[in-house]
Each structure stands twice: as C-alpha cells, then as structure tokens.
Structure 1
Amino acid sequence: MCFKNLLVASLFWCVFSISAQNPIVPNVGLNDPHIHIFNDTAYVYASHDKSIKNDKFIMEDWWIWSSPDLVNWTKRSVLNPKDTYIGKAFSRCWATDAAYKNDKYYFYFSEGNEQTGVVVGDTPYGPWKDTLGKPLLVSDLTPTHEYDMAVFEDSGEHYIIFGVWDYYIAKLNNDMISLAESPKKITINNPRGPYNLDGNNHKMPTDDKPFMHKYNGKYYLSWGCFYAMSDNLYGPYDYKDSVIKEKSFAEGYDAPTWPNGFLQGRHGSFFEWQNQWYYIYCDISQTGNRYFRDSFISYVHYKENGEMETIRVDGVGVGNYNANNSIEAEDYFKSNHIKKVENTKGGFSIEPTEKLGYVVYPNIKNFSITTTLEFEIIATESLQIEVRENDPKGEVLFTCDIPKNEIYTFQNRSFETKNLKDNQSICLVFKDAKPQSFKLNRFKFKN
C-alpha cells in the first residue's frame, strides 16, 4: 500500500449537529477531548467509546466535531484505523491531538497504549493522508509507553509530550511528522495523581494522557485534572493541585465515578478562546459506565499566584446562561480590554484595562418576565454601562448609569430592563471606564 497517496475514505462531512451544554455531545461516547481553535472555530479531536453496553474499552475510530460557540456541535469527520498505517480494523483507538503548521493540519492518534501515528490534511477535519506510513513514536523509543500525546506550540516551534507515569518531550521537525531530537524525560517534583493521592505510590505517581499549555509566561503540565507548573518547558515542574475537588460538583454530577474516585479518568485539555480559558474533560456521571464516557467543559480562572481555581462540574457548561440565575461576571464567552481579578473574599471579578472594554454573554434564556438588571459592583468613579445586542456594535437595548461607590465594597445597583427577548445574547460595554475604576462581580435579572 502506498501511504503517501492514502486518502481516508471514511471521512463523513457534517454528519449531524447537536445543541448541548454538559455533556457537550451527550450519549455518543465522545471522550479524551482536545480542543483547538482554528479559524475562530472550536474543533474537538476525540476518541470514541462504541456503546453504552461496553464492559471494556471498545474504541474503533477517532472523531472530529466543531462548534462556533461551544454549545452547538457538528460532527465533521471520522478517521478509521484501516485508513492509517494500522491498515485494519482496530478496537483500541485511544487519545489524539492536533496542530497546524505550513498551511497543513496534523492529526496525531494513539495506537492503543503502544505507539503514536499522524495523518495530514488541508483542513482541520481532513481529508487525511498517512504520509509517513509508519508510527511517529515507536513502542521502544523510551522507557515509557509512546501514546496519549499532546502537541504544544511555543514561539512557532512544536513539541510532542507523551507517556504514562513518566512523561517525555521532544521537539518536532518543521515537517511535523518527525522528531528533531531524542525525547527527554520531564521531572515533576512531588507529583500526585488518581492512584497516588498521598504521594507514596512511586510506581504510578501520575497518570496517562499528559497535556501542556502556557499562561502568563508559565508552563502547565497536566494529567487529567492534576497539574504542575514550571518556568521552563522542559522542566523541572512543581506539582500544584487538582482543578477538581469535592466542592466542584453540582447535584447529580458527583456520582458515579471511577474505581479510584472522582479524580480518576479526567482526560482532557485546557484551551483559550476570546480571552477566556476552559478545561474540557471526561465524565461518566450521566452514563454510569466508565467505558462509555462523555465530555464536559468548565471555565478556568487563574489566581494571582498562577495557580488555577477549582472548577465547577455541572450541566450548565459554558457559553449559555439562565436569566433566572445569578451570572458570574468572569464567566463570559468573549471580552476585550477586560481582565479577571481575584477577590479578597474569594471568587473573581472583572475590571477594565482600557476604555470601551466589553464582555459578551450569549444564549441567555428566560428573559420573558425580566424587569430589572442588578449589578454587584464597585465603582470608584461613575460610569455608564451600555447593554447591547450580541456585540459592541449591536443595537443599544438600554443603558445603566452607575454612580460612584460611597464605600469601597461591592454594592447592588438595579436598572430597568428594555427590549429583551428570550434566548438573547447581550454585550456589556463599559463607556469611558478608566483602568481599575470599577469591578463587576456578578449580575442577575429580576422580576
């Protein structure tokens, strides 16, 4: 077989679409998710558990879905193992990742827990060609297993991170399908993991499925919901925490969990889009079957020391809101000239960094009986907040004149609402607000 000319014949275009919150695509077994933003669209590269009846991991292909808003998802393509160097049906199609370079897209896949391959395409969803025709990472390359990779870009260069218990990193060549160096082991100080909560399990100190991201100059190496930080890409890394804790769970989302508890099996990735950070991860609370997993998305907020705040695990997800509930200001979908700030009593607020900063909250439901908008806010100077439709250039629905605070503490300011309709997207534009002149903690709509 000539792999250089191999076209993935099983590519299905726009098979169907679905609108969901958490799980993002329910009841289909989409798991091990990595999201990348290409052309202002979110693409999730994922594994696929075959059936709710599974009593072991049966994963026969790899999936790609896309979304313009993290709420509405469309299935874009399927990669079958017979259309790669594997060359036959295969039931251990494990975790994937993707990258873009040289006007090409690269889709990396795990051959079970042994090797890693890669296919190349002209779009984020193919069609794909296995131009290498063999594994990129072979099973005897390092002392660990060469699977469950992450591909990370830093200053235009790409790196591949892989393994279980111990992780290895190597720079990729410009062709993205070969290594520029021998893999190097990543040192993690005092690691923890779902099998190693007390730090004494030196045989299984972390987990499989490593991931790498960067925030504010720091590198974050994660394995599921656990993470470590470093000033250097190659490490060493200092273990910090888990982003999931007992307090994370909304009612109905805390059980069932994996044999080692709710911290196990949270394979996924961290990503940024439109000045907001997210974590997408596996969950079995709605299927009840560890072999038929869902994917959830939660907001991620960073503390001043660089550590990540504990996330919420619930059915609301991201990118949509309920007018009957209080909305945390930092849980926006899009922002400009805005930053998150850590509150002294816990939680986060937002504040402007320049004039005409704005935040967008799309898909707000249940406006029909709303008459009042109440902000919880600190304003050291008076300002005006325009409530616009959809974006900062949208129709002005109404305005809110915010007075200066008499005391420096969060105060509630209420305003009559106008022109709202159900399932409305709103944009809050902070007119003439100077940097650090106000903080918005949360807001809610009232009858």
Structure 2
Amino acid sequence: MKDFLALKASAGSGKTFALSVRYIALVLRGENINEIIALTFTKKAANEMKERIITTFLDLQNKKDELDKLCKELSLSQDEVIKRRDEKLDRFLQSELKIYTFDAFFSGILKKFSQNLGLSPDYSVQDSLQDLAWKKFVKEASKDQKLLSELALMMIISSQKEASFSQTLAKFYESFGGELKDSGASYPDDSKVRAAQKEINEHIALQNGASDTAKKTFKEQNLFELFKNKVFERESLDYRTFSKIYTSELDELFVKLKEAAKEYILEVERYRLSGFSKLLNVYKYSNLELNKEINALSFADINKLVFKLLVENFDKDVLYFRLDGRINHLLIDEFQDTNVIQYEIILPIITEIVSGYGQNGLGSFFYVGDTKQSIYKFRGGKKELFDKLGEKFEQILVENLPSN
C-alpha cells in the first residue's frame, strides 16, 4: 500500500469506495484505530463513510470488489485478508472510528484547549453570529465618536450600505482575524483626477463636431462610476466615438486622466485598508466579547482560534496529549472543497506525517477529490489546493482514479 497517495477522481468514479478500502487496509495492516483520522465536509458524508466502512468490514467476505482491492493493497490472498479481519474484529467493534467533518474535528480540538483561550468548554456552535457580531460592533463603535465617524466615512467611500458593509467587515475578520496593520494612510485627495477630468472635458467641448456621446464620456461626477466606463480599458481614444475630434493632444489628456485615476484608486485602497484595520480591531474585540457573553462560537471563530493553536503555536506533543493520541494516519475526502484556512490548519499535521513519521514507516496520508469542481466555492473552497499539496511534498504520489 502506498503510504502517501492523492487520487484525482471525477463524480461517480468511486471516491468513497477508495477511501473506505484505504481505511480498512490500515486496520488490517495492524495500525492503531485510535491514530486514524478521516475528514470530510458534511455530517451526511461522514455518517455515510462510517456506515460504509463498518458494513464492509463486517461483511467483507461478501464484498467482492472491496475484497479484491484489499488483496491487492495488502499483497494477501482472500483467505488471508478474511483471517486478518477476524483477528481484528473485536478490537474494531470496541473502537470509536474517528470520522469527522472538518468543523467537528476543529471544534473537538478547540474544546481541548478552551480554558487556555479563556473559553467555557461547554460553548455551543452556531453556523453564523454575523448579525449579533455587527450589532455588538456598532454598540462598541458608538462609544467613540471618532471611530463612529471613521465607520461612516468608510461606508461612504466604499459606496456600501450597512448590510453589505457588515458582510465585508465580517469577511475581512474571517480572513485576517483583525490582524491587519494600520498604514496610517490619509483621506484620498481627488484634486488631480478632478483637474484632469475637467481639462479633458473642456478640450472636448471646444472641438467642432464632437458628438453628444463624446461630450458625456467623462462627465460622470461619481469617480467610481466614471472609472467603470470601459473607455478606461482602451490605450487610445482613436476610435469611432472620438473619430471626428481625435488628435494626439486628446490622447495625452486621456493618458493624464488615466494616470491620475490610477493614483487616486491606489490612495483610496490604502485608505480603505487603513480604515479597515482600525475597525477590525474593534470588531475583533466585539466578537470575542460576544462569544463570552452568549457562550457560543461560529465555525469561522473556531477556525481562527484553531489556526492560532496549530499554525502560529504548533506544539505536536501538547496537541497529541490533549487529543489523547497521536494522528499517524490522515484520510481526507473531497479535498477540492478545502478552503485556505482549513488547508493551513491541517498542513502542520500533514507535514508531521509526511516529513517525519512517514520516513520511519509509521504514518500515512491519503486524500481524494475532483479537481474539476468545488461545490463549496461559496465558503472558500479552493480546488487548486489539491495540486498545491502534491507539489509541496514530493513523497506524495498523485494518481487518477479511473471512472466506473
């Protein structure tokens, strides 16, 4: 059996079959069931995986395809595989199969470290606390008139309504955890771009034969709406709209406007990031206070806290002690749906297995997924991570799983 294996598989090609056979092969090989972790994305998938493994293990003699695959993986005859199954049966039935969703696995880790983080170990988990977090944030911001003005200004400059802005702030918090540094950028100055806009408009207005479309092209007073005009994608104004009035001077004014616009947009982005960093600090504080007040965490909160534990302060000995056992074997289903923060959280564990224990023949890592699709794009699923992991570790063999 290949210790480090990635399977690229399309829909209906037998991903669950491959993972369940892999799990059983580890058990029959004599691996400690307590050291095998299997991860997937939904409770339904986790339950189906567990049921598939149990029923296959118990009825192995009647599962021809699985039995044949196990014979190949373990280089044993059918009788030898069944004999091993019988020898491992009592231990298998007495063991708890550690098959989890990512969210459940991370939550389980966090509960082991909850007191270290000032959390009650009996906290509840909710899909989202965004609405409550926003209300708490606004309440905190209201205590500081300067901060409240900053919030209003940021909403104006980003042209977002309250609901949209709250979502943007929540996404920044989920991505950066309130760790963005304040660059100290000042409010963007639009004088250069306004002057360039005025100059090109006056030039066009003085030209005989200028069409109404040409006269309106750069008239928009809202700069962000102005910059959405596809004319800014052009290298030159030498096209039909301006054909009757086109000169090299017009192009020079156009280039001047584009350069001023680019500079202004960069100033706006710097200011937005600076403003967000200030607001994020308050949002982060508000979110943590909310967690303590209602004794609840969202999955995003859990991910960030576990990220700090496993990525920023990874101590494998402490982790495995708290988890009551080492993770020597990791299996991941539908890997293409893994998002960046999930990837970063499990990476230290994968690295420990592949680069450390794997060299001594003690560990294994297996993941399977369809790189052509990610059904969880809405929650940040990145199918590119499948290939990135294979490229990071040369020990991992990447194979294609044939379609059924």
Q: What TM-score does the superposition give when structure 1 sets the normalisation length?
A: 0.23
- Decide which structure has greater strand share: 1
Name the one with the larger helix percent: 2
Larger relative contact order (CA 8 Å, sep ≥ 6)? 2
* TM-score computed with the length of structure 2 as normaliser: 0.25
